[in-house]
Amino acid sequence: MSAPALEHPPPVARLDGAPRRLPKGASDPISQRGGGCECDRSKGAIVLFYAYVPIADPASLVTELRATCGSNGVTGKLRIGREGINGTAAGNHVGIDAMIDALASCAREPRLAAAAKSLDYKHAPGCACLFDDLSVRLVPEIVPFEPSAGGAKSARKKRRGGRHATIGGDDDGDERGTETDASAPSAPSAPVPCPVGYLDPRDFHDAVRNRAASASTSDVVILDVRNWYESRVGHFEGAALAPIRRFSQLPEYVESNKTLFHGKDVLMYCTGGVRCEKAARYLASLGENDGGGEEKNGDDAGVTGRPRSVRQLRGGIVAYARDVLGAEAGAEAGAETKSAYKGLNFVFDNRGAVPVTSDVVTWCDGCGARSNRLGKCGGFGCHVILVVCEACGGGNGDANGEARVFCCGSCEAQTIARETTPGAKRKRKPCECDGYESRRRRLLPTPTPGSVGQARSWRVI
């Protein structure tokens, strides 16, 4: 089944006057596997959902949902823009039902209301404690993919073919953008269309297994489009893990690895599916402005990175765990042997990460021991998410940034300088870990020799 084209109206600015959710310079804490409350989570739920559907008046929808969720004790993060809605919400069943009813009965947004009636609201047991508060915001994109600064215009033209173009292209591969001048020179031949579609979780499972069993895996690429700290603690077997810190860096990774995707069948996945919608169409659009693979010089002649096909995991990892492994995937007997996904599923709420299987696929940034316990860099103003084992975390058990494990030597050095220099009020400088090579190392199955425990990197003090 082919994926529908995404309509991408002009972006809107963030809602003026929206309160800051956290103090400036702060970031969300990590509370792994629980959240610490004593609620009976069978009486509530956490739901993950999104819809790419044009919204005429997103500001009014923000106000309406903020009131509905607030009056029904629902917490979470809802992002609303002209291109649609993306949300994770938690609360008791009455509150969650009230939010869903508000979406499905929104008279001023008939297209959203129609879509809301058939959305896959991915439910899991939960309560309002899984979020510290309710954040409903008006945003330019419901999941940020456009570059925030520097090169935005050129990147946009290369990726979308025009300001108001549909991301990734229509299913039939028609050209998009402004009207063409009949007197202009004829355009180069169009590239071969790259079909974009979905695979249901069970079909995706079979495709991953078939690739693993095949004598040759070179024609099929499994791509994890999540951030490196997400894919690091859990991923599908054989997947390419992009060393990106934010979703908007994915094009940079693809541009540097065109041969990995060019002419291949790509199986793509993310947490719940919302990022894949944009990533799939971006991949399918590669080469649209290059003349369909016109002759070039060098080893990369004609290599645009454009895949032969792109298929998304419908509903993401959350749906895979639900539909293939069962509701209690981590506790199900034999889940480890039949799951093509290994490890944890990183989530953006107080659970931190949800077990899909008991496999530990990564290692502590402090000592290199096998671990999947999440923590944060101990550096001043640094919010990099690390893996910090119980020993390196000082036994504090919450991994909320108390551990003195640093992401890199430069972060450690400037933090110590600030702490040991009387009256120092140094502004944080970018550290050396914000680079592909550092993130790539952390995605390896085991630490590289000498990379852990040295003064310049991952040291515990």
Please list the active-site residues: 270
Adjacency order of strands within the sheet including 240-241? 196-199, 309-313, 265-269, 220-224, 240-241
Question: How remote is the C-alpha of 304 from its chain's centroid?
Answer: 24
CA-based max dimension of the chain? 72
Residues 390 and 396: their CA atoms lie apart, in Å, by 8
The pair of three-digit structure tokens given for residue 207, joined into one six-digit string = 């495709």
Half-sphere exposure of 46 (CA within 13 A, CB side): 25
CB atoms within 10 A of CB 105: 10
Residues 154 and 40: their CA atoms lie apart, in Å, by 51
- β-strand 75-81 against 134-138: which pairing, if any? parallel
